[in-house]
Structure 1
Amino acid sequence: MTSIALLDGGLGQEIYQRAPQVSSRLWSVAVMLEHPDIVKGVHKDFIRAGAKTHTLNTYPATPTRLAKAGLLDSIDTIYRQAFFALQQAIDETGEDVDIAGCLPPLVGSYLGQPQRSFEDMKAEFAHMARLQPDVDVFLIETMSNTLEARAACAAAREQGKPYGVAFRLEADGNLRSGESLNEAMRAVADYAPTAVMLNCCDPAVLTTAMPHMARSYHTVGGYANAFKSVDDMAKGSKADALEAREDLSPLVHTERVQQWIADGALVVGGCCEITPAHIQHLAQTLEQSHAIIKFSQLG
C-alpha cells in the first residue's frame, strides 16, 4: 500500500475569510492578532478533516513584510502565538500530527527575481527558522525563482529536520522569474530536500507538470489553489481582491489529486480556497487505498 503524506488546505485564506471585518496586507496574521480563536478553530477543522501535517499561521510574517507594516518588534510574539494556536488545536483534538514551520517568499507571493543576494535571503530564512524551534518539519512554499528557493533550502537544511520545497508555476509552465521547472528542480536537488513540490498553481498546470516531476526526483507532490486569478495580488493588492473558483468542489479536487498520485505524487493537500471540506473528502477517499502519513514519515 502506497503511503501518501497529506497536508492541510488553504490555512491563511480560510482564516481570513472567517474574519470578514479584518482587511490587511498581513492577511491571516492580522486576524490572529485580533481573533486568535479563529486560527485555532481553523487548525482544528483541518485536523479533524484528516490532514496529518499542519503549517503554522506565519506565511505573511517574514521580517521584511513585518518591518514594512511597522510590526517587526512583534515578530517573536507573532511566532509564539502561531505555535500556541496550533498546539492548542492538536491538544484539543488529540491527534498525532506534524507541526510544519513555514518558510514563505520574503517580500510577497507571485513576484519575479528578487533584488537581493543569496546570503542576505538565507540569513532572513534562518532567522525565521530559529523562531520555529519546536516544529517537526519545514515547508518552503510558493517559490517563484531559484535564488530564493536555494536560500530557503540552505537555511532549512541547517535545522536538521525534514523539509520540502514547493515552487509556483505560471500558466506557461515556468516560474514567474522565467526559469523552467527543470531549472528549478536542478537548483534545489543538491540540498536534498525530503520532497520537491508545486503549490499555489492552477490545478491544470500542476496536472501537466506532475509526470515530469515524478521522473526527475524521488519524492514529489503538489497542492493547488482554487483562485480564479492571482494577477491582482501579484500587482500588490490585498487578498480581498481574490475570488474563488466555483468549479472546484471537494469531489473535483479529490479527482484531480488522485490523478497527481497516479502520476507519482507522494505529498498532497490544498492551497488557498481548499477548505476543510475538500481535505475531508480527499482523506476519506484516499484512506480506502493508501496509507495516510505525516510528512515527517516520508522515506
Structure 2
Amino acid sequence: MSDRLKTLLETRPVLLADGGMGTGLFALGLTTGDSPELWNVEHPERVAAVHKGFVDAGSDIILTNSFGGNRLRLKLHELQDRVGELNRAAARVARAVADVAGRPVVVAGSMGPTGELIAPLGSLGADEAEEAFAEQARALAEGGVDVLWIETMSSAEEVEAAVKGAARTGLPIVTTLSFDTNGRTMMGVTPEAAVALAHRLPQQPVAFGANCGTGPGQLLATVLGLKAAAGPNDVVVAKGNCGIPEYKDGHIHYSGTPEIMADYARLARACGARIVGGCCGTTAAHVAAMRKALDEGEAGPVPDISTIAAALGPVVVPGAAAGEAEPRAERRRRRG
C-alpha cells in the first residue's frame, strides 16, 4: 500500500490538488463527444503536458485522466473492452510526470460515476456497479497510482459500490461528492449525511469531501457543513469549480480568475479543508495562484456564509428555498 498521501498529510497542514483535466485537454484539441481516456494512448504527450502544468504550478496531488474510465461510461464510445489498457495508460502517464517532479507528488486514480442509477431507482445492480469499479481500480493500481480517488458522486449507493470495488486493490481511497442541487447532491445527500456515509463505508477513506458543484462559494458552504459533522481526525477535501459556470456562445465558460481562486484557496483552508484543489475550468494559472495563496501566512478565522458569498458568489444553504442566495453574493455576480 502506498503511503505517499498519508505521509504528506502528516507533514503538511494543507495539500494542493490539481485543476480540471478536461479543461486542459479541451485547450489542446479535445472536442465534445471525444473520449478523454482514449487520449491516454493516442495523445499521451498532451495528457502529460496537462499534468506537468499542474505540477509546475505547485500541485501536490494530480488526478489521472480516467474520470470516465469504467466500462459503463466507456461503452458510450464503444471502448468498454479497453478498460484495462486505458486506465493503466492513464496511471502511467501521470506517474511518469510525478516521478520527475523533484518532490513528492501523489498520483490519484480518478474514478467518476457510471452514469447509471443503481437499483431500485435504476436498472444497474449494485454488484454490477461494484465489478465495474473493481475492474477500473485494478488497472489504475497496475499502472502505479498511489490512491484511488472516487469523485463527483451523487448517491450513497454508488459511493458504496465504488469503495467496495476500489478496496479490492488494497490502495488508500478518497471520496468526494458533488453538491449541486439546493446544497445537496442530485440524489439528495446532505453534507451531514455524506460524513455519516464516509464513516460507515467498508474501507474508511483517507479523506472525503466535495468537488465540482455550482461554484467555489457553494462548495465552501458544503465544506463548512462537512466540518461541522466530521470527527477531529477526518481530512476534508475541497475541489471546487473555477467560478460560476455560464453558458456563452454555445459553450460553458467559468467566471473564476486566478485572483478569485486564490481567495477560494485561502477561504477553503480557513474552513478547515486539508486538501484544496480546483475542478472544472481550473487551469495551471489558477493553480499557481492558489499555491501562492496557501503558502502565504496561516489560516484565517473560520468564515461565515456571508463572508464566503461576498468573496466567491451565490450560496444556498441546504434546506433553503431553491434560488435563495445571499444578497451580497448576487450583487457581486451581476457586476462580473
Scaled to the shorter chain, the TM-score interval is 0.7 to 0.9
3-state DSSP of counterpart to 1:269: strand
Note if contact 1:12-1:59 (Cα within 8 Å) is conserved in structure 2: no
How far has the Cα of 1:91 moved from its partner? 4.0
Relative to 1, partners in 2 of residues 1:229 and 1:282: Cα closer, same or farther, differing over 3 Å? Answer: closer
Q: Which amino acid aligns with 1:287?
A: D
Deviates more, 1:77-86 or 1:120-129: 77-86
* Match in the other structure for 1:219: 235
3-state DSSP of counterpart to 1:135: coil
Spell out, residue by residue over 1:83-132, the C-alpha distance to the aligned partner (whole angstroms, 9 max, x if none): 232133234443421111122101279xxx65323222111111111111
Quick check: 1:118 aligned with 2:126?
yes
- 2:246, 2:133 → 1: CA distance? 24
Q: CA RMSD in A?
A: 2.5
* Match in the other structure for 2:62: 54
- 2:116, 2:65 → 1: CA distance? 15
Deviates more, 1:273-282 or 1:100-109: 100-109
* Match in the other structure for 2:223: 210
How far has the Cα of 1:158 moved from its partner? 3.4
Relative to 1, partners in 2 of residues 1:197 and 1:276: Cα closer, same or farther, differing over 3 Å? Answer: same
Relative to 1, partners in 2 of residues 1:66 and 1:46: Cα closer, same or farther, differing over 3 Å? Answer: same
* Match in the other structure for 2:16: 6
Q: Which amino acid aligns with 1:225?
A: N
- 2:12, 2:133 → 1: CA distance? 33
Note if contact 1:227-1:243 (Cα within 8 Å) is conserved in structure 2: no
Quick check: 1:198 aligned with 2:210?
yes
**Residue of 60, 63, 75 corresponding to 2:71:** 63
How far has the Cα of 1:178 moved from its partner? 2.3
Q: Which amino acid aligns with 1:212?
A: G
Note if contact 2:14-2:274 (Cα within 8 Å) is conserved in structure 1: yes
Q: Which amino acid aligns with 1:72?
A: Q
Note if contact 1:2-1:290 (Cα within 8 Å) is conserved in structure 2: no
Quick check: 1:36 aligned with 2:44?
yes
* Match in the other structure for 1:79: 87
Relative to 1, partners in 2 of residues 1:72 and 1:230: Cα closer, same or farther, differing over 3 Å? Answer: farther
Note if contact 2:216-2:244 (Cα within 8 Å) is conserved in structure 1: no
Taking the TM superposition and a 5 Å limit, the aligned residue runs for 1:59-208 are: 59-107=67-115, 114-133=122-141, 134-191=144-201, 192-201=204-213, 202-208=215-221
Relative to 1, partners in 2 of residues 1:91 and 1:200: Cα closer, same or farther, differing over 3 Å? Answer: same
* Match in the other structure for 2:334: none
TM (norm. structure 1) is: 0.84
Spell out, residue by residue over 1:50-104, the C-alpha distance to the aligned partner (whole angstroms, 9 max, x if none): 1011111111221112223211232222123212321332344434211111221
3-state DSSP of counterpart to 1:82: helix
3-state DSSP of counterpart to 2:161: helix
- 2:21, 2:156 → 1: CA distance? 25
- 1:7, 1:135 → 2: CA distance? 15
How far has the Cα of 1:30 moved from its partner? 4.1
3-state DSSP of counterpart to 2:220: helix
- 1:10, 1:227 → 2: CA distance? 12
- 2:253, 2:208 → 1: CA distance? 26
- 2:251, 2:177 → 1: CA distance? 20
Quick check: 1:279 aligned with 2:284?
no
- 2:106, 2:209 → 1: CA distance? 18
How far has the Cα of 1:266 moved from its partner? 0.8
3-state DSSP of counterpart to 1:132: helix
* Match in the other structure for 1:295: none
Deviates more, 1:64-73 or 1:275-284: 64-73
Note if contact 2:99-2:105 (Cα within 8 Å) is conserved in structure 1: no
| 5+ residue gaps, structure 1 | 232-239, 292-299
3-state DSSP of counterpart to 1:44: helix
Give me the identity figure in percent.
Answer: 26
3-state DSSP of counterpart to 2:68: coil
